[in-house]
Structure 1
């Protein structure tokens, strides 16, 4: 039985890397039957202060696993490990 996996992508408006990261995340999550959550840091002072220079940020089960450009193969590997 696979465990519940939380996938979050932290973004901000007008970020072209965020758009790419969301597309990569959506495709990889679909392969594993997972959903993901997009969190816009613009309205969250704490997240903006913490991640302003690293957006987009990928968190799996609350742990930062990637930022800026998400590698599809690496993301699939991380999701495979997370769902094992």
Structure 2
């Protein structure tokens, strides 16, 4: 079975809400937080900004985006707890 880190360079977690989505980016190989949670509006302009933000932090590499993830923000960084 192929692991996420073998197929993707980055994982983008998305905590979805009605008016805003919260995005975070981690390194798929190490689990290091590369971009702490950032909030974007649920609008065309918000999605455009989110995609640009993702592009700036991932350098166009292989990216896996997962919606409805629940983030736990703690001193050591962002941990994805599972499906929300």
Same fold (TM over 0.5): no
Question: Which of the pair has the greater relative contact order for Cα pairs under 8 Å at 6+ separation?
Answer: 1
- Structure with more strand by fraction: 2
TM-score by length of 2: 0.30
